Amino acid sequence: MNGFVEAMGQVAGAVSVVTVRDERDDVGTTVSTLTSISLDPPLVMVSMANRGYLNELLLRRDRWAVSVLSVEQKTIASSFAAAGRPGARLLLAGTPHHRGPLSEALVVEGGVTALEAETTQVVPAGDHTLYIARVLGVDYVDSSASPLVRLRGRYRSVG
């Protein structure tokens, strides 16, 4: 598919961090594919690359959190996107965060919103896996914060 990556790079996506609690550590990654699927019941979807420990973990653990980052959180987005990154607790050292009461996953504070979710359906999709999840709770909403988006291969602010 000549030009597919470039074409999809023209589509802006909100930058989020998905986290899940493992027995040994907390694991997380940066995604730009959080999508609302349904209002009744409230469902969201994230897409994960098939390679990597987080995808394996999400196949075993149903509950997770997603923190939609603000423009001030580019460093967090980059840290969670880096190859060979350490566990989520180390990545969030010095950054306001807490453990979600419903998912037990780490929730990044200071973003535009954060949700806790429970996977209801797993859909293989090429080199990715789609996780459709019921929203267990909305941790916070800050409508005054500007969201961080990924567009044309870079993190950008909106407006």
Per-residue pLDDT tens for 145-154?
A: 999 999 888 8
> What is the spatial distance between Cα 146 and Cα 143, in angstroms, rounded to a whole number?
8
Give Cβ neighbours of residue 102 (< 8 Å, ≥ 6 apart): 63, 116, 136, 137
Q: What is the pLDDT of residue 24?
A: 83
Half-sphere exposure (Cβ direction) of 121: Cα atoms closer than 13 Å: 8
The pTM is what?
0.93
Q: What is the pLDDT of residue 84?
A: 84
Cis bond upstream, residue 41 (ω within 30): yes
Tens of each residue's pLDDT in the chain, 159 residues: 668 888 877 777 899 999 999 888 899 999 999 999 999 999 999 999 998 889 999 999 999 999 999 999 999 999 999 988 888 988 999 999 999 999 999 999 999 999 999 999 999 999 999 999 999 999 999 999 999 999 888 888 876
Residue ranges and CATH numbers for the domains of the chain are 14-151 (2.30.110.10)
Q: What is the pLDDT of residue 1?
A: 61
Q: What is the pLDDT of residue 153?
A: 83
Q: What is the pLDDT of residue 43?
A: 98
Report DSSP state, residue 79: H
Angle at 35 between CA 34 and CA 40, to 5 degrees: 130
User: Is residue 13 exposed (0-12), middle (13-18) or buried (19+ Cβ within 10 Å)?
Assistant: middle
